[in-house]
Structure 1
């Protein structure tokens, strides 16, 4: 009786190995599809994004009259940055204003970031909201608002400094960068122990000495990263620069925009390639500085995105 009772139970129990095999056959097919479909899709996205840049780099070695008309391979286009005064002046204006704007944005953004991190209060959320508003406002809105303001200051109030093209470009390019530097410096100091600065005060160090000997060295990786990001952002600022620039101080992005009317020439691609290499070099230096400071890959990517 016992044998007869157990035998149906054994027949009724499905084999575990059979169950696992059946479920494995059902799930293996979707995994195999996603294993090659996702990399393929990612590859297509990267090709779509970076193929135009690759075409510009290739055509920067074109020796011909127009960019789209390939003649033969050569380096003559790169010499235009020295031989053609219009190209040379536009590049120098971009480098000069980008550097000054980066210094200004780094100085103001560093002070703002330190203040938010070390003197918290009810004003901090409001100030962060103001910085967020600056970050998300479209550039065309900033440009339309900034142009009549600098005209009012320069012409109506008679402040001749605001009639200078370099000053206008520096103000326009540094607005967004100040917010970025403030974010980065605040995020850096919030994660550090404030007792190091308190110990300096306990040792009778003056506030200015504590700032230069303790606070600023602690924030220095974020300060350098903010400076480099500000410089790269200033190099390709087109919309605001197109509105506030004056004759004689045309930056490189605006020069390229105006060159569309007469047809792009190979030197446009050549100088753009140089600017691209300069920008990538600055970003690589930012990543190196942040990595040396102990930031993770996710933190570095967030900083690169302006967060």
Structure 2
């Protein structure tokens, strides 16, 4: 009897004249919020879109559009000053990412696996590093490097690449610490305890269990540290030495004589490099089994 009633109801629902579920009508507030969201996105991304478009400008100056072409990208290959600035920026970003990943990974693991009152003090210090204006960092780093390099006789701190790498790694280290801590804080420590119960040495447990659990966040932190270190204009302008001018400082000095399309071309290439790095971060975390919400939380250190 129950089966007969169920079949009758299904046929009634499938009949041509059967009433369909009403779609929820969109109110004026929903439409207004959608339009506002689109306008905000356009406001945020319009400058980036403009610089990408003008990177294909064949004119002599960036603000003077003469036509569409790839002359600006070809100019990069024949200007040693641009090539040197880009290479210095990439080297700085790579070295800074290595420093930030090494320090940030250890800090994140310590905060996640050995919590206590010290954790909140340490998080406060990391937050201070994150929110301190770059001009303050730059003014503090310059005499510090001079003291280490000249007064203390540590020659490596007279090297411009070392100065740039250390200066760029400050903020990136805090970011990596947040990401690794956020990753491990949601992971159960039973595997590490089981490894210890099976008489594994502490370093073996750290290498094969703890670091393996944190590896997606470590790789994500490395890529984010790399992208963050590409653009550190204020600190770089203070701590650089002759012969190690990074790309942001080169652009800053080029403003005085007028921006040229090759500036936009290199900026477009670096934008693509940043987007690729962020896509790799999301891919690494997705391969690790994270959901979209977890990926966003890990990348923001939440």
TM-score of the aligned structures, taking structure 1 as reference length: 0.87
String of CA shifts for 1:92-118, please: whole Å, max 9, x gaps.
Answer: 000001001101110111111111112
Pair 1:93 & 2:102 matched: no
Q: Distance in 2 between matches of 1:188 and 1:110?
A: 11
Q: Distance in 2 between matches of 1:119 and 1:302?
A: 21
Deviation at 1:86, TM superposition (A): 0.4
Q: Secondary structure at the match of 1:247?
A: coil
Q: Distance in 2 between matches of 1:241 and 1:226?
A: 21
Q: Distance in 1 between matches of 2:30 and 2:168?
A: 44
Number of aligned residue pairs: give it: 278
Select 1:281's aligned residue among 276, 279, 283: 276
Q: 1:128 to 1:143 in 2, by over 3 A?
A: same
Deviation at 1:226, TM superposition (A): 0.3
Q: Distance in 2 between matches of 1:115 and 1:220?
A: 15
String of CA shifts for 1:181-239, please: whole Å, max 9, x gaps.
Answer: 11111111121111101111121211111111111111000000100000000011111
Select 1:65's aligned residue among 60, 65, 78: 60
1:78: which partner in 2? 73
Unpaired runs of at least 5, structure 2: 1-24
Q: Secondary structure at the match of 2:64?
A: coil
Deviation at 1:146, TM superposition (A): 1.1
Check whether the contact 2:236–2:249 (CA below 8 A) recurs between aligned residues: yes
Check whether the contact 1:80–1:88 (CA below 8 A) recurs between aligned residues: no
2:135: which partner in 1? 140
Map 1:140-219 to 2 at 5 A.
Answer: 140-219=135-214
Q: Secondary structure at the match of 1:145?
A: helix
Unpaired runs of at least 5, structure 1: 1-27
Q: Distance in 2 between matches of 1:261 and 1:132?
A: 35
Select 2:266's aligned residue among 264, 271, 290: 271
Q: Distance in 2 between matches of 1:125 and 1:54?
A: 41
Q: Distance in 1 between matches of 2:76 and 2:91?
A: 15
Q: Secondary structure at the match of 2:215?
A: helix
Q: Distance in 1 between matches of 2:188 and 2:208?
A: 15
Stretch moving more, 85-94 or 64-73: 64-73
Aligned residues: CA RMSD = 1.5
Pair 1:126 & 2:121 matched: yes
Q: Distance in 2 between matches of 1:179 and 1:48?
A: 29
Q: Distance in 2 between matches of 1:174 and 1:219?
A: 20
Q: Distance in 2 between matches of 1:215 and 1:251?
A: 36
TM-score of the aligned structures, taking structure 2 as reference length: 0.88
Q: Distance in 2 between matches of 1:68 and 1:188?
A: 45
Deviation at 1:306, TM superposition (A): 5.1
